[in-house]
């Protein structure tokens, strides 16, 4: 047998107000969590409204090494000097982002949109940049030693002061890339010469 509980209009309004207050409270307390890509542990918590703002806040002092930032929209974010070593940024949008001086060593940047990104002085050693779009990126003084640039778009990029030792350039697009100029210091190994010319669209014949 179902019983019906009747309450006065006054009581009903009080209960309704309490429910609405709880909803507002929950909304205000909603936080953005940045987790470790391997363990799932929370490495930073933010009350910012967007993921981009949360990452910018964390970059101001927190260690984001190993962070899971897959497919994040970080376009035009200010992340200069950030520690993003070994982070997972696969498929993220970093177009126009300031990553000058950032630590991106060992970071997964495969398939990432890095068009127009400021990577001057950035540490990209052993980073995975396969299929990444680096068109027009600023790589002045960046260290790409041992990085994987398989199929990456480097067309029109200034590489005159970039360390490319041990870099995988197979299938990369280097059309219009700059490797010369006053004080140019681009370095590659002898074993990379044929791969380098292929990336430039040049076939080396014996």
Cα distance from N-terminal residue to C-terminal residue, the chain = 95
Given this model, what pLDDT does residue 1 score?
A: 59
Provide the pLDDT confidence category of residue 24 given band limits of 50, 70 and 90.
Answer: low
Collapsing DSSP to helix, strand or coil, 27 comes out as helix
Strands (E), 7-150: 32-35, 42-46
Task: Report, as an integer, the average pLDDT of 41-70.
Answer: 93
Is the model's pLDDT at 9 over the cut of 70?
yes
pLDDT tens for 73-91 read: 999 999 999 999 999 999 9
Whether the Cβ atoms of residue 94 and residue 119 lie closer than 8 Å to each other: no
Sign for the CA dihedral angle at 153, 136, 112, 163 comes to: positive
187, β-bridge pairs: 163
Collapsing DSSP to helix, strand or coil, 57 comes out as helix
Given this model, what pLDDT does residue 181 score?
A: 56
Is the model's pLDDT at 27 over the cut of 60?
no
Walk me through the domains of the chain, giving residue ranges and CATH numbers.
Answer: 68-206 (2.160.20.80)
Percent of the chain with pLDDT over 90: 57
Task: Report, as an integer, the average pLDDT of 44-62.
Answer: 91
Lowest mean pLDDT among 19-28, 32-41, 101-110, 182-191: 19-28
Provide the pLDDT confidence category of residue 17 given band limits of 50, 70 and 90.
Answer: confident
Lowest mean pLDDT among 34-43, 51-60, 100-109, 169-178: 169-178
pLDDT tens for 94-147 read: 999 999 999 999 999 999 999 999 999 999 999 999 999 999 999 999 999 999
Full-model pTM = 0.77
Sign for the CA dihedral angle at 50, 90, 114, 78 comes to: positive
Structure tokens at 203: 């076939």
How far apart are the C-alpha atoms of 68 and 57, rounded to whole Å?
Answer: 16
């Amino acid at each position: 047998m179902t019983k019906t509980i009747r309450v006065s209009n006054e009581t009903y309004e009080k209960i309704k107000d309490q429910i609405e207050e709880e909803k507002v409270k929950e909304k205000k307390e909603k936080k953005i969590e940045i987790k470790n890509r391997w363990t799932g542990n929370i490495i930073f918590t933010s009350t910012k409204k967007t993921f981009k703002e949360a990452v910018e806040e964390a970059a101001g002092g927190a260690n984001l090494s190993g962070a899971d930032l897959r497919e994040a929209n970080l376009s035009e974010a200010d992340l200069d000097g950030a520690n993003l070593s070994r982070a997972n940024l696969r498929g993220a949008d970093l177009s126009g982002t300031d990553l000058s001086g950032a630590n991106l060593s060992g970071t997964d940047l495969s398939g990432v949109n890095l068009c127009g990104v400021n990577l001057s002085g950035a540490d990209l050693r052993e980073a995975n940049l396969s299929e990444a779009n680096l068109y027009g990126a600023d790589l002045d003084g960046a260290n790409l030693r041992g990085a994987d640039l398989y199929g990456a778009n480097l067309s029109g990029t200034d590489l005159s002061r970039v360390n490319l030792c041990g870099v995988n350039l197979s299938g990369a697009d280097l059309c219009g890339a700059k490797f010369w100029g006053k004080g140019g210091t681009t370095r590659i190994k002898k074993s990379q010469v044929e791969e380098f010319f292929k990336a430039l669209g040049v076939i080396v014949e014996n």
